[in-house]
C-alpha cells in the first residue's frame, strides 16, 4: 500500500521513524513534509499535499492512505479535510484508529505527536492500515451523505421543518 505522510516540526522525528517502520512492513511511503527541522514551519500545505495525493491515488485505483502529524493533530486533520474526497479522522487510541476505517472509511488519520509515545503511534497506524471498511449499509449511507454535501451542498430534509 502507498502511505502518504505529512507533518510539521512537531512530528518530524515521529515521521522519520514511522517511514522506516512502514517501509519495513512493505509499504511505499511518500513524504510530503518538511526536509529539515524548522520550529516555525506551517503544517497546512504539507497536510493538504498529502491529502491530495491520497485522493489522486485512490481515484487512479492505487491503494493509498494518509497519515498527518502535528503537536495535537487537530489542525492537521482540519487541513486534510479541506481536500475534496478526504475523510480525515483524529486518532488517539487503537479503538479510534479501527473505527475510523471500519465505520467512516477514513482515508487519512491525524495524530498528535506530542500526545503519544512512538510505540503508541505505530500501533494506531498499523491498526488503521490493517482495518478494512465494514461496508455496512448504515455506514455507507452516512458516508454518501457527507460526499453529497461536499459535491453540491445537498442535505437530507430537516425533520424540524
Q: Which residues are identified as catalytic?
A: 76, 103
What does DSSP assign to residue 75?
A: H
Contact between residue 155 and residue 144 where contact means Cβ atoms under 8 Å apart: no
What does DSSP assign to residue 117?
A: -
Contact between residue 71 and residue 114 where contact means Cβ atoms under 8 Å apart: yes
Q: Based on the number of CB atoms within 10 Å of its own CB, is 158 exposed (0-12), middle (13-18) or buried (19 or more)?
A: exposed
Helix residue ranges per DSSP H, the chain: 12-24, 44-59, 74-80, 94-102, 118-130, 137-152
Count H helices and E strands in the chain, helices first. Answer: 6, 5
Amino acid at each position: 500500500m502507498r502511505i502518504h505522510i505529512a507533518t510539521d516540526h512537531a512530528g518530524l522525528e515521529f515521521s522519520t521513524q514511522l517511514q522506516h517502520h512502514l517501509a519495513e512492513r512493505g509499504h511505499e511511503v511518500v513524504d510530503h513534509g518538511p526536509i529539515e527541522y524548522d520550529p516555525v514551519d506551517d503544517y497546512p500545505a504539507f497536510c493538504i499535499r498529502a491529502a491530495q495525493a491520497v485522493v489522486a491515488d485512490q481515484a487512479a485505483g492505487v491503494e493509498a492512505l494518509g497519515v498527518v502529524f502535528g503537536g495535537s493533530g487537530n489542525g492537521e486533520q482540519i487541513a486534510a479535510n479541506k481536500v475534496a474526497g478526504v475523510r480525515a479522522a483524529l486518532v488517539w487510541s487503537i479503538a479510534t484508529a479501527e473505527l475510523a476505517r471500519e465505520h467512516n472509511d477514513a482515508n487519512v488519520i491525524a495524530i498528535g505527536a506530542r500526545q503519544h509515545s512512538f510505540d503508541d503511534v505505530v500501533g494506531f497506524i498499523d491498526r488503521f492500515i490493517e482495518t478494512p471498511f465494514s461496508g455496512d449499509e448504515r455506514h455507507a449511507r452516512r458516508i454518501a451523505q457527507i460526499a453529497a454535501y461536499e459535491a453540491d451542498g445537498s442535505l437530507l430534509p430537516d425533520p424540524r421543518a
